[in-house]
Amino acid sequence: MKYYIIAGEASGDLHGSNLIKEIKLLDPGAQIRAWGGDLMASQGATLVKHINELAFMGFVEVAMNLPTILGNIKRCKNDILEFAPDVIIFIDYPGFNLRIAEFARKKGFRTVYYISPQIWAWHQSRVKKIIRDIDKMLVILPFEKDFYQQYNYSVDFVGHPLLDALQGQKEEDNTETFRREHDLGIKPIVALLPGSRRQEIARMLAPMARMAQHFPEHEFVIAATSAHTLAYYKQFIPNQNIRIVFGQTYRLLRHATAAMVTSGTATLETALIGTPQVVCYKAGTLSYLIARKLVNLKYISLVNLIMDQQVVKELIQGQLNEATLKNELKQLLENSDYRNEMTQNYATLRGKLGGSGASQKAARAIVDFTNS
């Protein structure tokens, strides 16, 4: 069978790669063409466009890059027509994917959405487009099934694929080995996760890096992605003795005492690994003001949303300043009761996510649907 998969961000590339791996076990002759990243390509997908060229965050930033985005949409439509897939699989990335889904329905292609857009957070009117344009929806958060049920739209809860991704990592890796490999000293490690997009890094890394001067007894290490150069990261940490480690985010989190994490999938990854964290988020002023009008949520981090309570502290926009970040990091590093309560809540969180096997369940649902 011929599968066309569209992911537009790093997390989509990760989950898409695991999905492709499972699809190929069920359908060894699968032909897969995709918009994604290095991980999806490593599983045998033929890439049309790399995620490094796709990720734009914020309302203003999207508007500024609208010609590029519209050009990508046109290219995607033409490529789908030429490839003529048996099914199109959308992975999150709703601004782009919902436009392609409408086109796909009109052209008679079968559609599956794996990892629902967060329409429960804002712009709920998009559910009408999903019901109209998506033949099968696979959700990964437990409350999403109930959300769609309000609209009499049946979806499948397959569990969260992060559990699979983390299960595949080397848990036996010890801290001494990690320190030796990356030329780190003996100080306790604080991980900095500034995000994967250029705009995120530009806003988040500098305030995170400033914490190093307040906690000289700790080793501050940045979780970097190979999508950006060493020089790009270094421009945000002048005169700071901070290490930069590429492509080792999960290992870094396992060996870290605490982490400062940009809001997004990384907050859930950090929680599932078990590292105490503070969630940080800062957008462009205009984008933030627009988002405040549209988003109706008590929390922004997946950890708190799934638990429906504040498990991790969220420092958003103006709250993300040197004094507040310093105070929260001090709690994470020095208050054992605070750390223990957070990690106990992490254990409850893991139980809510449905156990491992999400990628396998999703692949089975997609292959069965495509063959039906």
267-280: pLDDT as tens digits: 999 999 999 999 99
User: Distance between CA 284 and CA 63 in Å, rounded?
Assistant: 13
Is the model's pLDDT at 170 over the cut of 60?
no
What gap in Å lies between CA 280 and CA 263, rounded to an integer? Answer: 6
pLDDT at residue 169 in the model: 62
Sign, CA torsion 171/23/351/298: positive
Strands 111-114 and 31-36, sheet pairing: unpaired
**Is there a single domain that holds both residue 223 and residue 294?**
yes
Run of H or E including 91: strand 87-91
Q: Which residue has the tokens 């359908």?
A: 27
Average pLDDT, the chain: 90
Same domain? For 137 and 37 the reply is yes
Residues 361 and 338 in one domain: no
The answer on 315 and 220 residing in a single domain is yes
Mean pLDDT within 139-146 = 91
Query: Which pLDDT does position 148 carry in this prediction?
Result: 94
**pLDDT at residue 118, as a whole number:** 83
253 with 278, same domain? yes
Using the predicted structure, report yes or no on whether residue 295 has a pLDDT greater than 70: no
Examine the domain organization and report whether 52 and 86 are in the same domain: yes
**198 within a domain of the structure (yes/no):** yes
Q: Is the pLDDT of residue 289 over 80?
A: no
In a domain, 164, yes or no: no
The share of the chain scoring above pLDDT 90, in percent, equals: 71
Band the pLDDT of 119: cuts 50, 70, 90: confident
- In the prediction, which pLDDT does 196 show? 86
Q: Output the pLDDT for position 256.
A: 97
Inside any domain, residue 337: yes
Which of the two residues, 56 and 246, has the higher pLDDT score? Answer: 246
Q: What DSSP state is assigned to residue 188?
A: P
Domain assignment of residue 166, yes or no: no
The reply to whether 194 and 313 lie within a common domain is: yes
Residue 121 has pLDDT above 70, yes or no: no
Helices (H), 84-170: 94-107, 126-133, 142-149, 162-167
Which of the four pLDDT bands, split at 50, 70 and 90, describes residue 288? low
94 plus 211 within the same structural domain:
no
- Domain range for 28 is 2-159+357-371
The predicted pLDDT at position 227 comes to 81
Question: Which pLDDT score, from 0 to 100, does residue 299 have?
Answer: 87
197 or 136: which leads in pLDDT: 136
Answer yes or no: is 310 within a domain.
yes
112 lies in the same domain as 148: yes
Residue 167 lies in a domain: no
Confidence at residue 54, expressed as pLDDT on a 0 to 100 scale: 67
For residue 268, what are its two tokens?
A: 């859930």
Residue 10 has what pLDDT?
82
Asked if residue 270 is part of any domain, the answer here is yes
pLDDT of 135: 98
Residue 165 falls inside a structural domain? no
**Is there a contact between 258 and 190 (Cβ–Cβ < 8 Å)?**
yes
**The total number of structural domains that make up the chain:** 2
Quick one: 135 and 267 in the same domain? Answer: no
Asked whether the predicted pLDDT for residue 112 surpasses 60, the reply is yes
pLDDT level of residue 282 (50, 70, 90 thresholds)? confident
Q: Model's pTM, two decimal places?
A: 0.80
CATH classification of the domain holding 319 = 3.40.50.2000
- Residue environment code for 245-279, b if the CB has 16+ CB neighbours within 10 A, otherwise e: bbebbbbbbbbbbbbbbbbbbbbbbbbbbebbbbb
- What is the DSSP secondary-structure string of 226-252? TTS-HHHHHTTSTT---EEEES-HHHH
Q: Which pLDDT score, from 0 to 100, does residue 144 have? A: 92
**pLDDT at position 188:** 97
- 78-102 pLDDT, tens digit per residue, is 999 999 999 999 999 898 999 999 9
How many angstroms separate the CA atoms of 246 and 325, rounded?
24
Whether residues 261 and 363 fall in one domain:
no
Q: Which of 13-22, 306-315, 350-359 has the lowest mean pLDDT?
A: 350-359
Q: Which amino acid is at 217?
A: E
Indicate whether 118 and 15 sit together in one domain. Answer: yes
